[in-house]
Structure 1
């Protein structure tokens, strides 16, 4: 179960029905069902947003798609760096390069706007894209930085299994115990116990965390006795905090509404730069093709009988 990114009192519950089909149920804070749709719905019941997210993350191709997305992000990073190197103004030309509106013939104006947008956009876009690339390879990044969230130790599993005959702790009690550890925190996600993992995994947004929709404070609460058997708090190792910051940076959540708007503008301007670059190529190609035809005409006339 995950808290909805739109409202604090909306939750999405992911479950399998009696037939084994995956479904997503949205409920409000009082437990009233707002919608219940197939988890693989592409458009209906809010499925369009999941579809767009999946395309962005892995192209509906699992790990292979994630690799493609990550590698394409690396290519984009390289293009940004190379373009910034080419557009870097000479000494004393920064003000004019950053503020003056391009003028002149069509090709010159297109090149000028492409360069102007690139100078303003390159660094913030590089930060957003770099965070996205690292997210595409998040599991590997966690391993390299030793920032993996370790589950409870084996003896906890055995102890919980041995206590299976006792009255088990329900999700409401487990959540209350987690919130007691972090007063003022809000629920971000809750995963129920499974056969090999007899604990609740609870993710909270605690006070003092980086601005974001979903928090990064994770606790494991034993289903057998309600004991907190593992997890990490809001004060985390630097490597873990770095990994946790990737998503807020990539989505702009780190800056609240303003940050998310900024990321949206960056995306629009990247598309605009593609359009300007394409227009510049076409504007230059027209005269070149006309010149090539003009040069070939005399040759053709000389070769005629």
Structure 2
């Protein structure tokens, strides 16, 4: 039930974050000429000493801020993950927050929900528990089918309500019918949730069936070359239209920028075409779309879009919200069924003893 509630919420993460934190997510200057991305990063690093960017997510449209994700090295040597928000038109830093911080305020609330959903705020142990819950829910999907379609029963009855209002039969049908109507959707959410919770194990299982290619930067050797190409020039080597850029990943250890641009093959709105630009001489060193070239690549490219609902845009997120709501109701009606049947069993035993 907790995973369903938090999942419904983070399906609308950007909208929720913007509503709670307009001071961070909404640009104060508005439309106009954009300052260079290099200046945006420089201003961010000057505003928060010790901060370095590893992922710059560009404002999706006019009126929103750039979102810089990175880490800050503190004076005592400790490191914390940080997010900074910068006005694209003025380069002014709107503010920042610590990623994954257990703080109960409006700035950190969206990330708190995200952490609860993905790892129960317990890091790797929590992520493992979430994955195990997903596996058990997958098993439950198949165990439910013989219960929903017992022998000598018309299959249509599994999708209908019968019995008088308030009866145990009506409660059972209400529990069964909504589960059967959305069985395929809830199973899809469960399957994608398990693959996201256990990405390495999932890849090991799929690899024998279809080859899976990794992102190009994972195989690039480490270098110690000085950086001479900035973010703006790297983007210009990829496209002349900055509105086509979703984000830029920065990999200083391999001297590479990964410019992510939108493409017709994208399964969602994340910009799935990665173009790698060398930080030293500006040459394009590789290009890869998340869809890849195999069935295995295609399968994993669709996991997050399907799980989050972004695969079908606004309508997809409405569907994910509906699935979350039905899951909450399934938990509630399932608990009521257990409680009612336990009480009925006690009454029957007491009557027999009497």
Fold shared, TM-score > 0.5 on shorter chain = yes
Answer yes or no: is 1:148 the counterpart of 2:209.
no
Does the residue aligned with 1:189 lie in a helix, a strand or coil?
strand
Cα gap change, 1:126 to 1:40, in 2 (>3 Å): closer
Q: Per-residue deviation at 1:91?
A: 8.2
Q: Per-residue deviation at 1:190?
A: 1.9
Does the residue aligned with 1:114 lie in a helix, a strand or coil?
helix
Query: Following the alignment from structure 2 to structure 1, what is the Cα–Cα distance between the partners of residues 200 and 239?
Result: 28
Aligned residue for 1:168? Answer: 228
Match runs of 1:102-113 below 5 Å: 102-104=162-164, 106-113=167-174
Aligned residue for 2:142? Answer: 81
Query: Following the alignment from structure 1 to structure 2, what is the Cα–Cα distance between the partners of residues 4 and 285?
Result: 56
Cα gap change, 1:87 to 1:23, in 2 (>3 Å): same
Query: Following the alignment from structure 2 to structure 1, what is the Cα–Cα distance between the partners of residues 130 and 243?
Result: 34
Q: CA RMSD in A?
A: 2.9
Runs of 4+ more than 6 Å apart: 89-92
Q: Per-residue deviation at 1:95?
A: 4.2
Cα gap change, 1:222 to 1:123, in 2 (>3 Å): same
Q: Per-residue deviation at 1:243?
A: 1.1
Task: Describe the superposition over 1:30-59 as per-residue Cα deviations: whole angstroms up to 9, x where unpaired.
Answer: 233332223344343532111211222122
Answer yes or no: is 1:13 the counterpart of 2:60.
no
CA contact (8 A) 1:203 1:219 kept: yes
Match runs of 1:129-208 below 5 Å: 129-142=190-203, 144=207, 145-151=211-217, 161=225, 164=226, 168-180=228-240, 186-194=244-252, 196-208=253-265
Task: Describe the superposition over 1:229-275 as per-residue Cα deviations: whole angstroms up to 9, x where unpaired.
Answer: 12314762122222111000111111111111111111111111111
Aligned residue for 1:225? Answer: 281
Q: Which of 322, 331, 335 is 1:265 aligned to?
A: 322
Q: Which of 237, 241, 251 is 2:293 aligned to?
A: 237
Q: Which of 123, 142, 147 is 1:62 aligned to?
A: 123
Provide the TM-score with structure 2 as the length reference: 0.71
Cα gap change, 1:59 to 1:147, in 2 (>3 Å): farther
Count of matched residue pairs:
286
Cα gap change, 1:107 to 1:5, in 2 (>3 Å): farther
Query: Following the alignment from structure 1 to structure 2, what is the Cα–Cα distance between the partners of residues 6 and 176?
Result: 18
Q: Which of 89, 98, 101 is 1:38 aligned to?
A: 98
Which shifted more, 137-146 or 268-277?
A: 137-146
Query: Following the alignment from structure 2 to structure 1, what is the Cα–Cα distance between the partners of residues 203 and 238?
Result: 25
Higher Cα Rg, which structure: 1
Which shifted more, 15-24 or 241-250?
A: 15-24
CA contact (8 A) 2:60 2:246 kept: no
Q: Per-residue deviation at 1:224?
A: 0.3
Cα gap change, 1:14 to 1:70, in 2 (>3 Å): same
Q: Per-residue deviation at 1:4?
A: 7.5
Query: Following the alignment from structure 1 to structure 2, what is the Cα–Cα distance between the partners of residues 295 and 16?
Result: 68
Cα gap change, 1:2 to 1:91, in 2 (>3 Å): farther
Cα gap change, 1:131 to 1:22, in 2 (>3 Å): closer
Does the residue aligned with 1:46 lie in a helix, a strand or coil?
coil
**What 5-or-longer segments of structure 2 have no aligned partner?**
1-54
Cα gap change, 1:86 to 1:200, in 2 (>3 Å): same
